[in-house]
Amino acid sequence: MENVIAAVLTLILVLGIVRFNKRQRQKSLNKIVYSQSYIHNLFKDRTTKQINQKSKIISQSIKHTEKYMVKIIVIDGMAYWVSDNIFYTAETSDGQIVHETAKPVDIGNMPKKELDKMLFILDNLGRGNNDDSSSSRNE
């Protein structure tokens, strides 16, 4: 009789240990770790726009840069820009503007196809941010 009681108690103890170990393994497998960037991407659309957007500080250097900065578009070896409300074009060589070839564009005697191209270039010169080349846009 003592052997039966000892065997039953041993069996209960072994089953308890097996069950405890099984629960411990399940708890360790259920832990899900999220990265900070994943959590940020989940909540960034739910936050207000004021928190997400940086306020633009207009400093004296920004005013100076905007006053003297000229946007240039290079297409097919020709550079196009607007300066003092005049639309200029010039040839380029190795990515540099050849200043001797700079001349104002005469749209009065231009064919419609060329005029459409110039209007497209002019529209694109007006687009974009003021700091087109100063940031990697990795914000």
Non-local CB neighbours of 87 within 8 Å, separated by 6+ positions: 80, 81, 104, 105, 107, 118, 122
Judge if 7 and 38 occupy the same domain: yes
Cα 7 to chain centroid distance, Å, stands at 68
CB-facing half-sphere around the CA of 98: CA atoms within 13 A: 9
Judge if 33 and 68 occupy the same domain: no
**Does residue 104 fall inside a structural domain?**
yes
Judge if 116 and 70 occupy the same domain: yes
pLDDT the model gives residue 38: 83
**Does residue 91 fall inside a structural domain?**
yes
**Does residue 47 fall inside a structural domain?**
no
Q: Across-strand partners of 82?
A: 87
Q: What is the distance between the alpha carbons of residues 20 and 27, in angstroms, rounded to a whole number? A: 11
Contact 93, 52 (CB under 8 A): no
pLDDT the model gives residue 125: 75
Domains identified in the chain, total number: 2
Domain that includes residue 122, residue range: 61-126
pLDDT the model gives residue 28: 63
Within the chain, which residues score under 70 in pLDDT? 27-32, 47-56, 126-139
Q: What is the distance between the alpha carbons of residues 34 and 37, in angstroms, rounded to a whole number? A: 8
pLDDT the model gives residue 44: 76
Sole residue written with tokens 């694109």: 124
Q: pTM for the complete prediction?
A: 0.48
Tens-digit pLDDT profile for residues 32-65: 677 888 888 887 777 655 554 566 678 898 888 8
